[in-house]
Amino acid sequence: MNANKQIASIECTITIVMSLLLIAGLLSACSGINIQAARNLSATGKNVALQVRQNIFVSDDEYTRARDGEALVHGFSGTTNSDLYAKILKDYDVIHQELAKRTIVFESLADVYDAFGELAGLDAGAQTEQALTNLGGAIEEYAKQIMQPSPIYKDTTAIISKVGGIVAAEIQKAKIKEASIQIRGRVEDFQKLLGNKLVREQMTGFRQSLTTVKKAAFTLMWNQGVYDPKPLLDDFGTDAGLVAKKEAAAGIKPNTPLGNALLEVLKKRLAIKADLIEKSYDASLKALGSLISEHRKLEQGEPLDLNRVQAISAELRSIAGMLTKVKADLSKNQ
């Protein structure tokens, strides 16, 4: 009787192991997926989404300064009661709010990468293997309690657990591949949307316009002779280790050759910001393109080159830094 039970037990064990091996075999097409690479890609993807968001939208500070610029030029021209001025401010607000709504797409993209990280972050193989080992132990314990031979031998429990772990890992890889394909499709759609010429003009054009208002307000103030140009004069003397005389700045008047020369320098510095707005947008599109390319590699089981994406992300950060530096340089000269 016991011998029959043992034979049945062995048969049962073999059936389970064979079934698991069959499932593992069916899923082995996904074994090229590198789970660790998927984890790294999810972290990089989130980082890119947040960095791009920071780079292509008008910051609150930028927006406030542009509104201040409008106030200044209207105050100067005595048109603060003008309906046109009120309409400009109202339109600015509506447009700024409308564009700000678009930041939600970047938050959603970051969230998708968070979810991808959750999927890749699981250690399904090891967890399932441990769970099956525990299950085998529990069955054996139960059999002992009811004075029956264990339906599965201890040695085969280890095999089942191992194969079960492999199956779980393969299932996870299959799900990662499927998720990567879906996410790639969404990122491709998003890249196309941001690359749309009209969208690009809307996003970068409004920002350029705000920069122009700030520049006009600054120039108006410069022409009134309210700024101390000494820091700018000192900048020119830096290489020679010289600083401008204390009284030199006082001698520089607007609309004189030297006044105009310094104004031109400042205008060119401000113009850098306008170039950076376009550059920043291009770098953002490039970053999304790199993410798409890394997803493809992950799906094909090729090694990822996340350094490339990280380099573009660093470029984005550097542009954001340069935009701030232009602001800092100007503040220094004010």
- State which of positions 248-277 bind another protein (CB under 8 A): 255
Among 98, 228, 264, 305, binds another protein (CB under 8 A): 98
Please, which residues have CB within 8 angstroms of residue 100's CB and are 6 or more apart in sequence? Answer: 57, 58
Residue with tokens 């049945």: 8
Among 71, 88, 265, 285, binds another protein (CB under 8 A): 88
Stretch that binds another protein, among 3-11, 78-86, 239-247, 280-288 (CB under 8 A): 78-86
Q: Residue 113 and residue 107: Cα distance in Å, rounded?
A: 10
Among 71, 216, 243, 265, binds another protein (CB under 8 A): 216
For 196, the token pair is: 């749309």
Under the binding rule (CB under 8 A), the answer on residue 116 touching another protein is yes
Most distant CA pair in the chain, distance: 114
Torsion of Cα atoms, 70 then 203 then 277 then 221, to 10° = 0
Residues within window 132-171 making contact with another protein, judged by CB under 8 A: 132, 134-135, 137-139, 141-142, 144-147, 168, 171
Number of residues that make up the chain:
334
Under the binding rule (CB under 8 A), the answer on residue 101 touching another protein is yes
* Residue with Cβ nearer another protein (16 or 135): 135
- Min separation Cβ 265 and another protein, Å: 16
For 285, the token pair is: 């599109």
Under the binding rule (CB under 8 A), the answer on residue 278 touching another protein is no
Query: Residue ranges of the alpha helices (H) in 79-196?
Result: 83-101, 103-121, 124-145, 154-195
Under the binding rule (CB under 8 A), the answer on residue 240 touching another protein is no
Residues within window 300-329 making contact with another protein, judged by CB under 8 A: none
